[in-house]
């Protein structure tokens, strides 16, 4: 007998429909899975066998053929265990009434629900990756509901317009399809609030001095601009960068859903977590590979640049990263997305992030320090700085020097502005930007603007325009650097509540091109 069960798989961060066809006929006992199954799918037959038997159900000693359609797309993961088990039970008529027309009080129909889940040997249903993506795909397909593992219920319940039911065991799902027994149902309101805001253990008030650097971080947070801090060891570059997340504004609903999808696909969501409410902060070590940073693998997974989507990617000791690793950052920083191409598939992950990087001015770290002499030769300094290519440096909006803090500032009791006060100013600036970009989907901050957005949004006064033209000539700015100065000026104007970019805003923006001035 033949049975069909709706299921789903994830490609990138989008789900696509998979139909699990199960045929059980007389013959020598065998279990074959076709439709380009990967290793975890093939191994699922052993889990399905044990789960059915240990759930006091009958596993047929017949010839079983399972087809995962479409058959020309490779399937991976363990989420097909549950639909395969339900297909076998339906094909052997152990789901009484399955497939018949039903009402709310009658037997549920297999065609009405997408079923996903990994099975344990005792018949328990274990969490999977990408449940949020699958629920969104089920809603787009017009399916009545989706059955997911109980641990993924809060995550999938974020999606409105589709029933999200949670199952803890194979037996529960059998009772649901056979006799209409109730399954727990997720509520979007509970899912959205299931992951509370993380408690901050660091604050900008802890940082003594470095007012210029703190202002640069505020501008970077307000406009989602990339930032590079250059200074000697112990000047506070890492301390400042780790406090950047404390001043970032709340995520918009669209940003939160995209970010949660990425972390769900990567398997990084805690059990029972719904929408992520805090922006991610990723700080990979400098020994990371290019595939770890950008994403990849035989079945491409998101890398650090995608896991930092809508948040911060912090690269400490920037010149210590291998040059080929740094060069792969060019496309994500420019386009806000990463495309990973393989022979069989090409996957695009979003990577709209804020890059925060830190480096020393030379190998010993004290080049230009007035208090300590540098032991590096000019050639060593040049080689050290050349590890960061010009094209990559040109894609970093803000370059700021972070000098050593004088002793009198370290020992004083006066503290700077707390993160809460800075975050309020940043959030107000972001609200102005969101209002300006209301009719342009995909734009959330000034750094995301393209060249055609600059004319209507970055109007400058005559004095600001004259100052900018002079800076282009004196600093020999590239076209990309010119556009980035304009965007930074727009962000500074937003922080000031100004409608037009004035000369003071452009002057401050030009100050953040330290390495451009140094190259002259």
* Alpha-carbon gap, residue 185 to 176, rounded angstroms: 12
* Alpha-carbon gap, residue 336 to 331, rounded angstroms: 8
The pLDDT of residue 189: 63
**154 and 240 in one domain?**
no
Give percent of the chain with pLDDT exceeding 90: 72
The pLDDT of residue 192: 60
**108 and 55 in one domain?**
yes
**Which of residues 192, 217, 242 is at a domain's end?**
192
Residue 503 within a domain: no
Q: What is the CATH number of the domain that holds 52?
A: 3.30.230.10
CB neighbourhood size of 215 (10 A): 17
Residue 169 within a domain: yes
Residue 480 within a domain: no
- 384 bridge partner residues: none
**165 and 123 in one domain?**
yes
pLDDT of 107 higher than 60: no
CB contact at 8 A, 278 and 269? no
CB neighbourhood size of 495 (10 A): 20
* Alpha-carbon gap, residue 514 to 430, rounded angstroms: 25
Q: pTM value? A: 0.90
CB contact at 8 A, 126 and 19? no
pLDDT band at residue 202 using 50, 70 and 90 as cut-offs: confident
Phi-psi region of 214 (alpha: psi -120 to 50; beta: other; left: phi over 0): alpha
Q: For 431-483, what is each residue's pLDDT tens digit? A: 999 999 999 888 999 999 988 888 888 889 999 999 988 988 888 888 888 88
Residue 336 within a domain: yes
Tokens, residue 462: 């005559």
**129 and 10 in one domain?**
yes
pLDDT of 382 higher than 60: yes
* Alpha-carbon gap, residue 238 to 462, rounded angstroms: 39
Residue 422 within a domain: no
pLDDT band at residue 105 using 50, 70 and 90 as cut-offs: very low
Secondary element (H or E) of residue 49: helix 39-54
Between 175 and 518, the more confident residue is 175
**185 and 159 in one domain?**
yes
Q: Across the chain, what does the average pLDDT equal? A: 90
- 315 bridge partner residues: 357
**186 and 210 in one domain?**
no
pLDDT band at residue 514 using 50, 70 and 90 as cut-offs: low
Helix (H/G/I), strand (E/B), else coil: 226: coil
* Alpha-carbon gap, residue 372 to 368, rounded angstroms: 9
Which DSSP string do the residues of 366-414 spell out, in sequence order? -TT-SSS-----HHHHHHHHTTS-HHHHHT--EEEE-PPPPHHHHH-S-
The pLDDT of residue 228: 96
**256 and 350 in one domain?**
yes
CB contact at 8 A, 168 and 150? yes
**255 and 372 in one domain?**
yes
* Alpha-carbon gap, residue 125 to 141, rounded angstroms: 24
* Alpha-carbon gap, residue 54 to 124, rounded angstroms: 10
Domain that holds residue 246: 205-417
Residue with tokens 């299931």: 194
**408 and 362 in one domain?**
yes
Residue 442 within a domain: no
CB neighbourhood size of 133 (10 A): 27
Residue 229 within a domain: yes
* Alpha-carbon gap, residue 114 to 148, rounded angstroms: 8
**219 and 174 in one domain?**
no
What string of H, E and C letters represents the secondary structure of 273-287?
CCCCCCCCEECCCCC
Residue 403 within a domain: yes
The pLDDT of residue 515: 62
Chain CA centroid to CA 182, Å: 34
Residue with tokens 């505020």: 218
pLDDT band at residue 520 using 50, 70 and 90 as cut-offs: very low
pLDDT band at residue 200 using 50, 70 and 90 as cut-offs: low
Reference 82, options 17, 181, 167, 192; nearest CA is: 167
Reference 399, options 227, 257, 215, 283; nearest CA is: 227
Average pLDDT over residues 351-365: 95
**Which of residues 417, 437, 460 is at a domain's end?**
417
Give Dmax over CA atoms of the chain in angstroms.
Answer: 87
**165 and 54 in one domain?**
yes
Average pLDDT over residues 412-429: 88
**210 and 186 in one domain?**
no
Task: 326-333: list long-range contacts, CB under 8 Å, 24+ apart.
Answer: 326/387, 326/388, 326/389, 326/392, 327/389, 327/392, 328/290, 328/293, 328/294, 329/293, 329/294, 329/305, 329/355, 329/392, 329/395, 330/391, 330/392, 330/395, 332/294, 332/305, 333/226, 333/392, 333/395, 333/396
Average pLDDT over residues 104-122: 81
- 14 bridge partner residues: 11
Kindly report whether the peptide bond that precedes residue 213 is cis, defined as omega within 30 degrees of 0: no
Q: What is the CATH number of the domain that holds 360?
A: 3.40.50.300
Lowest mean pLDDT among 165-169, 248-252, 515-519: 515-519
Average pLDDT over residues 399-427: 85
**Which of residues 371, 389, 417 is at a domain's end?**
417
- Structurally, how many domains does the chain consist of? 2
């Amino acid at each position: 007998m033949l049975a069909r069960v709706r299921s789903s798989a994830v490609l990138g961060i989008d789900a696509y429909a998979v139909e699990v066809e199960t045929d059980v006929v007389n013959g020598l006992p065998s279990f074959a899975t076709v439709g380009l199954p990967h290793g975890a799918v093939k191994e699922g037959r052993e889990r399905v066998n044990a789960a059915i038997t240990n759930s006091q159900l009958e596993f047929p000693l017949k010839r079983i053929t399972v087809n995962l359609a479409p058959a020309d797309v490779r399937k991976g993961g363990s989420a097909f265990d549950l639909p395969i088990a339900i297909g076998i039970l339906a094909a052997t008529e152990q789901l009484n009434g399955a497939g018949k027309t039903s009402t709310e009080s009658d037997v549920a129909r297999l065609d009405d629900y997408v079923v996903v889940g990994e099975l344990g040997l005792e018949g328990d249903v274990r969490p999977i990756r990408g449940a949020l993506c699958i629920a969104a795909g089920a809603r787009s397909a017009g399916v009545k509901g989706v059955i997911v593992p109980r641990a993924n219920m809060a995550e999938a319940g974020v999606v409105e317009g589709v029933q999200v039911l949670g199952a803890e065991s194979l037996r529960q799902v059998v009772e649901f399809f056979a006799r209409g027994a109730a399954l727990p149902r997720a509520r979007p309101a509970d899912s959205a609030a299931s992951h509370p805001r993380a408690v901050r253990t660091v604050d900008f008030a802890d940082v003594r001095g470095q007012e210029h650097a703190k202002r640069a971080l505020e501008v970077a947070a307000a406009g989602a601009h990339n930032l590079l801090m250059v200074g000697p060891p112990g000047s506070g570059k890492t301390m400042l960068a780790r406090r950047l997340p404390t001043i970032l504004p709340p995520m918009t609903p669209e940003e939160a859903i995209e970010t949660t999808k990425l972390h769900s696909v990567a398997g990084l969501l805690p059990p029972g977590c719904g929408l992520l409410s805090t922006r991610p902060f990723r700080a990979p070590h400098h020994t990371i590979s290019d595939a770890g940073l950008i994403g990849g693998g035989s079945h491409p997974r998101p890398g650090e640049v995608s896991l930092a989507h809508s948040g911060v990617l912090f690269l400490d000791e920037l010149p210590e990263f291998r040059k080929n690793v740094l060069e792969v950052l060019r496309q994500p920083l420019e386009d806000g997305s990463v495309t990973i191409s393989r022979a069989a598939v090409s996957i695009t992950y979003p990577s709209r992030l804020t890059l925060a990087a830190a480096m020393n001015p030379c190998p010993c770290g004290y080049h230009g320090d007035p208090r300590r002499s540098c032991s590096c030769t000019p050639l060593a300094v040049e080689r050290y700085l050349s590890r960061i290519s010009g094209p990559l440096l040109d894609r970093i909006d803000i370059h700021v020097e972070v000098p050593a803090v004088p002793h009198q500032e370290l020992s004083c009791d006066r503290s700077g502005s707390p993160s809460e006060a800075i975050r309020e100013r940043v959030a107000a600036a972001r609200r102005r930007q969101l209002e300006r970009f209301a009719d342009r989907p995909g734009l959330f901050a000034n750094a995301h603007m393209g060249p055609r957005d600059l004319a209507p949004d970055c109007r400058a006064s005559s004095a600001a325009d004259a100052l900018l033209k002079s800076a282009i000539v004196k600093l020999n700015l590239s076209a990309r650097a010119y556009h980035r100065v304009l965007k930074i000026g727009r962000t500074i104007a937003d922080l000031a509540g100004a409608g037009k970019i004035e000369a003071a805003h452009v002057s401050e923006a030009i100050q953040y091109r330290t390495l451009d001035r140094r190259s002259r």
